[in-house]
Amino acid sequence: MKKIRTRFAPSPTGYMHIGNLRTALFEYLIAKHEDGDFLLRIEDTDQGRKVEGAVDIIYDTLANVGLQHDEGPDIGGDYGPYIQSERLGMYKEYADQLVELGGAHYCFCSEEEVEKQRKECELINKPFKYDDPCKHISLKEARERIKNGEKYVVRQTIAHEGATYFDDEVYGRIEVDNDILDESVLLKSDGFPTYNFANIIDDHTMGITHVVRGNEYLSSTPKYNLIYKAYGWEIPTYVHVPPVMKDEHHKLSKRNGDASFQDLVAKGYLPQAILNYIALLGWAPNSEQEIYTLEELIRVFDIKRISKSPAIFDINKLTWMNGMYLRAMPLAKFHQLALPYYEATIHRDVDLFAVSKILQQRVEILTQIPEMVDFIDELPEYDNVMYIHKKMKTTYEIALQALEASASALEALENWKDEESVHETLLALPAQLNMKNGQVLWPVRTAISGKQFTPGGAIELAHILGKEETLRRIAIGMEKLRKECSDQAA
């Protein structure tokens, strides 16, 4: 059996889009499921769109998610160069050979002539397909004109009778009438190949067996196959995948402000969680399992389970999945990830590892951390109505009674560094006061955090803040409640 070889061939035009990363993942999984090779090729023939530093972004992204390529510009291989702009001479040779084989011709038409036909088609509301008069020029005459210095391009030659078909792994058999196929430019006048022609040459010369790309290429794939046939080359296996959508009507697009991989990481999402989530965009495993390691994905991935339907990117689902990853990791690893956020937010001398203990099971994305712990540095302003908890039947009077009893009990507590002591002290109060646990702990938590939602309960927060700061904040709470009760009585 022929060894499977796939390639990820991004253009260095900026950040890694989610759709591009999913394509890379599918290519990687197809290869590795059969112990094949996964190649990285940089397609930079469109020099005008090249962005400085974008190649490094590609390397960093693949490394961050664990998609290790077997060959590429940075590690070499037997089929290099792996950067298209370093292969220019080869494209010219293949283009000339294709002309010899009758699959292409030299075109000397000006941009004005092409544009004239385009406008004529627009006037009669007809899809534009260039009818090139140059395909009727003999090869001898064309070569003479080239020798005389005339500017030219190499354009594909298509016999317009009959039809061309191919079998796609996702969409099945696709058949297109040849008379609707446009004779596109393959080699531009500056010697650079067009994207499509360079892909064909590179895929063949690099031994690529499976081509994975977006389903927008379904209609043009017959043109690629005509070129393969003209050369007498084996046609690769095609895997066209549905788009990743923002909603039912709009594609996910960086131009529309949608998040790239780098944006999501900056927002606090883990690379492994992102990769896990996008694996499920347009592909379904043969089970209810949703959380996968990369090794597990390699084992279970099946091309036949790629959907024909577009996949909608659900940030809420990704957020849930990211939370699952954070909760599943060792506490020490979570603590290391959280430290930069603590250092930017917490300047009080507290046990940060204890903060991680209460935070890990509650945070879903890392950038939630500052807002969840900002009360540690300074007690925020808060409304007294936060002391009222209807379910616990907490009133201002009950809250004040709870705080007064808590302040007295905690003041007498000597072994504050032992969280169990704080726990026993506060949980002994409800029975003494003839109250429910929540009627005591809710006011204490409100007083020491000033927040309605906190990463931990009253006991955990008091232990982290320390005796002096906890009592200071409870005193502020008692003062606020005494004034509230006085105002109500008046």
Instruction: Tell me the catalytic residues.
Output: 254
Token pair for 37: 């090779």
Of 335, 337, 213, residue with least CA distance to 271: 337
Which helix (H) or strand (E) element contains residue 18? Answer: helix 18-33
Cβ proximity of 394 and 439 under 8 Å: yes
User: What is the crossing angle of helices 195-205 and 88-100, to 10°?
Assistant: 90
- Contacts of residue 151, defined as CB under 8 A and 6 or more positions apart, other chains included, come to 108, 189
* CA–CA gap between residue 53 and residue 14 (Å, rounded): 8
Query: Coil, helix or strand for 113?
Result: helix
The dihedral formed by the CA atoms of 334, 339, 345 and 346, expressed in degrees to the nearest 10: 100
**DSSP E strand boundaries for 14-102:** 37-40
> What is the enclosing helix (H) or strand (E) of 112?
helix 111-123
DSSP track, 184-244: -EEE-TTSPBPHHHHHHHHHHHTT--EEEEEGGGTTTHHHHHHHHHHHTPPPPEEEEEPPE
The residue type of 76 is: G
